Amino acid sequence: MAMDAIKTEHPEADQLKIFRAAPASCAVELGRIRMPKADLPWVLYDYWEEKGEDVETITIK
């Protein structure tokens, strides 16, 4: 599973950054398999055209 592979590859990580470029089916599957007590907190980013950069929008702990 991808979440386990990320935790194994980056054991020092304290959060998982997710950008909205993911396909809808991928986003739905990530939300479906998420286990709050076992997985890293998620930080979701959205691209703001006015700023010309990705901006942190939501943190899911």
- 41-55 burial string, b = 16+ CB within 10 Å, else e? ebbbbeeeeeeeeee
The residue whose two tokens read 């890293």 is 40
For 8-36, write each residue's pLDDT tens digit: 999 999 999 988 777 888 888 888 888 88
Mean pLDDT over the full length of the chain: 88
Q: Is the pLDDT of residue 7 over 90?
A: no
Helix, strand, or coil here: 4?
helix
Spell out the SS3 assignment of 5-56.
Answer: HHHHHCCCCCCEEEECCCCHHHHHHHHHHCCCCCCCCEEEEEEECCCCEEEE
Q: Where are the domains of the chain?
A: 2-60
